[in-house]
A and B are shown apart, each in its own frame.
Chain A
Amino acid sequence: MVDQNALENDEPLLVAKSLSKSYGRIAACREVSFALYPGEVLAIVGESGSGKSTLLQLLSGQLAASGGHVSYRMRDGVTRDLATLGEAERRFLFRTDWGFVHQDPAQGLRMAVSAGANVGERLMAVGWNHYGRIRDTASDWLTRVEIDIARIDDAPRTYSGGMRQRLQIARNLVTEPRLVFMDEPTGGLDVSVQARLLDLVRSLVAELGLAVIIVTHDLAVARLLSHRVMVMKGGRVIETGLTDQVLDDPREPYTQLLVSSILPP
């Protein structure tokens, strides 16, 4: 059993091969290749317009690539090209084995229905049909993301920004996905709330062995969460490596500029 797990962890979960995307003459993403292993946290950093978000959408199958492909190892152990999945399979993958945390919680949550139903929706979508069990699981997850159980029947529009973001995380993790995409999850939050959220994400990732692809322009977030960093500029990956290696000893002039632009604490 242990050997089996070790074997499984040896194979990449998600592989991107020379991914490209162009909008007319503008190339938003050029020849991006990498492999992501189970339990690994990969940060994609770069300035606005460097192609980070486009890359995230390509990886999560929300956008069709102009060139190259993405393959994913499904729960049954078979690695498949995302472009060959039917729409039903892709949507099923999206609400079971994947999570997607948006920068703006309003995009990832149903703002008008209660927090409990927000967390329970994925469970009901995969056929859970017992109110008591759905509610228990939802309250369990609200506790894990440090939301007061007394607020379970309140709609997220009555929540603060930080609570909304934590609720969004709970909603995504309830089906125990293996891979979570995060698009600037701390954007728009104040510094103390950011710190709490990062702390929470870090402990959940370690606890659940999640693989995460996180897009951020904040190098501090990358340093805190990720094992590996990919630096993007003009649609290309210009530098990649272990987080401390890239951030403490940057090779490329652009990365050096990026790192040196952080104010010293």
Chain B
Amino acid sequence: MNAPAYNFAYLDEQTKRMIRRAILKAIAIPGYQVPFASREMPMPYGWGTGGVQVTAAILGPEDVLKVIDQGSDDTTNAISIRKFFAKTAGVATTTATQDATVIQTRHRIPETSLHANQVLIYQVPIPEPLRFLEPRETETRRMHALAEYGLMHVKLYEDIARFGHIATAYAYPVKVNARYVMDPSPTPKFDNPKMDNCPALQLFGAGREKRIYAIPPYTQVVSLDFEDHPFEPYRFNAPCALCAAENSYLDEIVTDDKGGRMFVCSDTDYCEGRQAAGHHGSLSAAPYKEKAQERDHG
């Protein structure tokens, strides 16, 4: 109609500059949590206000945006954020990992390997990896400053003492560029190796906690462990029921109340791509799709 109601990508230009400065600092000091003046966003905390602000700050008119939530393009959170930027920035959106230039994610890294022209933006609930062991912020900052990370191993020690193995399955602490210990946001530890030496830029935004941190492209990211209890990525021991993938991260889906369940790829784009390429698992998604269509039309 006439004048647009929002500035491009919702935030005003001064706010975007402030966020970009924080991002530049974060890239300069890999893994370091940079404080920034997080704004109120038109969504509740916990829905990705940090990630959305980072996305808004770096998005350009030429960008192609993909948003995933637990690997899926079609959950409420992913759809609403994708629509939010389609409306406020008018950028093209996609579900294909390959085609996207900016990918905002909650709790997963896509299975398709990322390339150098991409930026991966994580939504982070609690950026401080030492938080549950040391409640004082002044103390954790000092520990980061002096690289005193003995406490992080105390957590892993407790895991082994209690369960016989490192039972931390998500938000598994990593050391970035041999300096800062970082919380990779609640991604499964299956995804940790993908962060190491990744060609894409990785940015992390925590809106409520007002922190931004980053892993520049091709940076060393090491998962913490013990010599006699090395880091091991975890995956359900089954192929995907829809595309038969043996190497993707799986979701467990309960299908009835008699103990029936199926394992499917959590990355929906990867799974659909494989099905389109002719890979089929023990179950087919077709009947479910038909039912959904019947419901929609009937």
Spell out A's residues near B (CB within 8 Å).
87-88, 91, 110, 113-114, 116-117, 120-126, 129-132, 134-135, 152-153
Given contacts A129-B227, A130-B228, A132-B228, contact A117 B146 (CB under 8 A): no
User: How distant is the Cα of A110 from the Cα of B153 in the complex, in angstroms?
Assistant: 14
B149-184 CB contacts (< 8 Å) to partner A: 150-151, 153-154, 157-158, 160-162
Residue on A with the closest CB to B146?
A: A88
Query: What's the nearest-Cβ distance from chain B to residue A43, in Å?
Result: 32
Query: What's the nearest-Cβ distance from chain B to residue A108, in Å?
Result: 15
Given contacts A114-B158, A117-B161, A153-B161, contact A130 B150 (CB under 8 A): no
Spell out B's residues near A (CB within 8 Å).
133, 142, 146, 148, 150-151, 153-154, 157-158, 160-162, 226-229
Given contacts A87-B146, A131-B160, contact A113 B226 (CB under 8 A): no
Contact B146 A125 (CB under 8 A): no
Contact A125 B228 (CB under 8 A): no
Contact B148 A131 (CB under 8 A): no
Query: What's the nearest-Cβ distance from chain B to residue A257, in Å?
Result: 43
B interface majority secondary structure? helix
Contact A124 B153 (CB under 8 A): yes
User: How distant is the Cα of A114 from the Cα of B161 in the complex, in angstroms?
Assistant: 8
A-B contact count (CB 8 A): 53
Contact A129 B226 (CB under 8 A): yes
Contact A125 B226 (CB under 8 A): no
8 cross-chain CB contacts under 8 A: A91-B148, A113-B133, A114-B162, A120-B157, A124-B151, A124-B157, A130-B227, A132-B228
Query: What's the nearest-Cβ distance from chain A to residue B30, in Å?
Result: 21
Contact A122 B154 (CB under 8 A): no
Chain A residues closer than 8 Å to B161, beta-carbon distance: 114, 116-117, 135, 152-153
Query: What's the nearest-Cβ distance from chain A to residue B298, in Å?
Result: 56
User: How distant is the Cα of A88 from the Cα of B148 in the complex, in angstroms?
Assistant: 9
Chain B residues closer than 8 Å to A117, beta-carbon distance: 154, 157-158, 161
Chain A residues closer than 8 Å to B158, beta-carbon distance: 113-114, 117
Chain A residues closer than 8 Å to B142, beta-carbon distance: 87
Interface centre among B162, B228, B229 (most CB of A within 10 A): B228
Given contacts A116-B157, A131-B226, contact A121 B150 (CB under 8 A): yes
User: How distant is the Cα of A217 from the Cα of B229 in the complex, in angstroms?
Assistant: 47
Residue on B with the closest CB to A114?
A: B161
Chain A residues closer than 8 Å to B133, beta-carbon distance: 110, 113
Residue on A with the closest CB to B157?
A: A117
User: How distant is the Cα of A228 from the Cα of B154 in the complex, in angstroms?
Assistant: 38
Query: What's the nearest-Cβ distance from chain B to residue A136, in Å?
Result: 11
Chain A residues closer than 8 Å to B150, beta-carbon distance: 121-126
Chain A residues closer than 8 Å to B154, beta-carbon distance: 110, 113, 117, 120-121, 124
Contact A131 B228 (CB under 8 A): yes
- Nearest first, the 8 A-B pairs at minimum CB distance are A125-B150, A124-B153, A124-B150, A131-B226, A130-B227, A88-B146, A117-B157, A117-B154
User: How distant is the Cα of A150 from the Cα of B227 in the complex, in angstroms?
Assistant: 25
Interface centre among B158, B160, B162 (most CB of A within 10 A): B158
User: How distant is the Cα of A135 from the Cα of B157 in the complex, in angstroms?
Assistant: 9
User: How distant is the Cα of A88 from the Cα of B142 in the complex, in angstroms?
Assistant: 9
Interface centre among B142, B153, B160, B227 (most CB of A within 10 A): B153
User: How distant is the Cα of A88 from the Cα of B143 in the complex, in angstroms?
Assistant: 10
User: How distant is the Cα of A134 from the Cα of B227 in the complex, in angstroms?
Assistant: 11
Chain A residues closer than 8 Å to B153, beta-carbon distance: 124, 129
Chain B residues closer than 8 Å to A123, beta-carbon distance: 150
Query: What's the nearest-Cβ distance from chain A to residue B66, in Å?
Result: 39
Chain B residues closer than 8 Å to A110, beta-carbon distance: 133, 154
Residue on B with the closest CB to A129?
A: B227
Query: What's the nearest-Cβ distance from chain A to residue B230, in Å?
Result: 10
